[in-house]
Each structure stands twice: as structure tokens, then as C-alpha cells.
Structure 1
Amino acid sequence: MADHKLDVTIVTPDGSVYDKKDATMIVLKTTGGDIGVMANHVPVVAGLKIDAVKVKFDDSEDEIAVNGGFVEFSNNVATIVADSAETPDDIDIERAQDAKDRAEQHIAHAKEVSDKDELARAEVALKRAINRLKLSEN
């Protein structure tokens, strides 16, 4: 591997979702803010927010919907361990829209009955569904 390239792997409890070599940069939304990581970056371990991970190459870019987890980067290898993750080709748009609709219903119900736990879970489900839908539109 050349000094100016990265290997990027995304794994979930269900297995490997993404594994590519020769990336020039990855862009992530971490719990501490947005970061971009290029080759020879200092080692990093960071928690991830629900958002798209962008993997940039010389002439293209991949986006992967990542729903939480963390990234570990060292020696030009980025490993993302996510709660769940999907590439745009793997996103079932109808299922994601149904999940969004259900989450919105749960949010309304949680507000009606003042259930903070249900509200928090529903808000996370809504963020995940919106992340998947947003990525599938690109």
C-alpha cells in the first residue's frame, strides 16, 4: 500500500459491510464533531454518530449509512465497528420509509404519554431511518 492511501473496513454484528483499499480520505461524524482522516494521520479512536461515512478515492466517493459505533484508525487502516451499516445498494427504501413512519408515530405517542424513554428510542429510530433514506437518494 502506498503511503498516501488508506484501507477502510466497516463491520457490524452481522459481519463485514464494506472493505476497500487505496482510499485517499474518510470523513466521519463523530461524537466530538466532524473529522477527516487522511494517510499518516495520528491514531484515532472516536465514537460515531448516526450519519453517512464518506470514503474518498482519487476519482470517486463511496457513502455508507452508519448507525452509531466507533472508528479506530492507525497505521493507515480505518476500522469502523458499527451497530448497523448499509451501502446505498443495500438500502430497502420502502422498509426505511416504513421505519421512518413508525418512528414518527412512536414520537407522537411518547409525547402524548410523556414517556421519555420511548421518546429517546423513537428519536434514534427516526435518525437511523432518515440517514438511510438520505443516502439512498444520492
Structure 2
Amino acid sequence: MQVDIVTPEKVLFSEKDISMVTIPGIEGQMGILDNHLPVVTFLKPGVINIEKSENKYFFTTGGVVDFKNNSLSILCQEVFDVKDFSDKQINNLKERANKKLEDTNSTDHDIFISNALIDELNLLKTK
């Protein structure tokens, strides 16, 4: 299948012949294989795993996934290649999430996403 990971600034990843992608869906982890049924879903913060000869891992703060006609589009506001993810970037994301949690105007959705982001970043740092 064709897989594209896109942010507002750039195309971070674009390759064909990918056998499987695991995404952090809002309902839980989801594996997408060739010829999967069409799906549109939201992403929560977590790791996107692209399975090929050498797996690629990306960390997203959330986004939207659209799969149809053997083409997977992953649209993210922010996404980082895990191998290049610095402690500074991780700490900045945690700080931003903590500020959202402290803000009395944060919505339930903001709180859910901020907590999920902190949890996933903590897991990432322990691996």
C-alpha cells in the first residue's frame, strides 16, 4: 500500500509497498494491512509503526487517518521521526500538555489528549 505522513509544513514520509502500519487510533491501536476496508479515524498521541524491511517509527501528537484504495494518508499537526526525537522536543511537548491541564478553560477533549500525550511520552522515554 501507499503510505503518506503529512503535516501542514511538509510530507514527512511517502512510500509504496508497505505491508502494514500500526496507528494509535482514538479507540486503541489499529493495524492496517493491504486491502483493508476503507476507514477514517482520529489519532491520539502515540507511535505510528510502519512495517517494512527496516521498520520506521514516528511519534504523533494526534491527527486524522484516511485509508481507501490501498492508500493510507496520515495527516498530523505534529509528527516526529522517533530516531531523531530529542529530549528537548519531548520536554517541550510535556510542558505544553501540562499547561493545558492547568488551564481552567481546557475542554474535556484537551484534558484527554494532554493526559494521553504525557503518558505516551513517558512510555517513549522508557524504551
Query: TM-score, normalized by length of structure 2?
Result: 0.77
Q: State which of 76, 81, 95 in structure 1 corresponds to 2:70.
A: 76
Query: TM-score, normalized by length of structure 1?
Result: 0.72
Report the Cα distance in structure 2 between the residues aligned to 1:119 and 1:44, rounded to whole angstroms. Answer: 25
Identity rate, percent: 23
Matches within 5 A, 1:80-91: 80-91=74-85
User: In structure 2, what residue type is equivalent to 1:34?
Assistant: Q
Matches within 5 A, 1:95-106: 95-101=89-95, 103-104=97-98
Report runs of 4+ in structure 1 exceeding 4 Å deviation. 101-107, 118-123, 132-138
Taking a change above 3 Å as real, the CA distance of residues 130 and 87 of structure 1, as seen in their structure-2 partners, is farther
Report the Cα distance in structure 1 between the residues aligned to 2:56 and 2:122, rounded to whole angstroms. Answer: 16
Larger Rg: 1
Does residue 62 of the first structure (1) align with residue 56 of the second (2)? yes
Give the RMSD, CA atoms, in angstroms: 2.8
Residue range with higher mean Cα deviation, 16-25 or 126-135: 126-135
Structure 2 gaps of 5+ residues are none
Q: CA deviation at 1:39?
A: 0.6
Q: CA deviation at 1:89?
A: 3.5
Give the corresponding residue for 2:16: 21
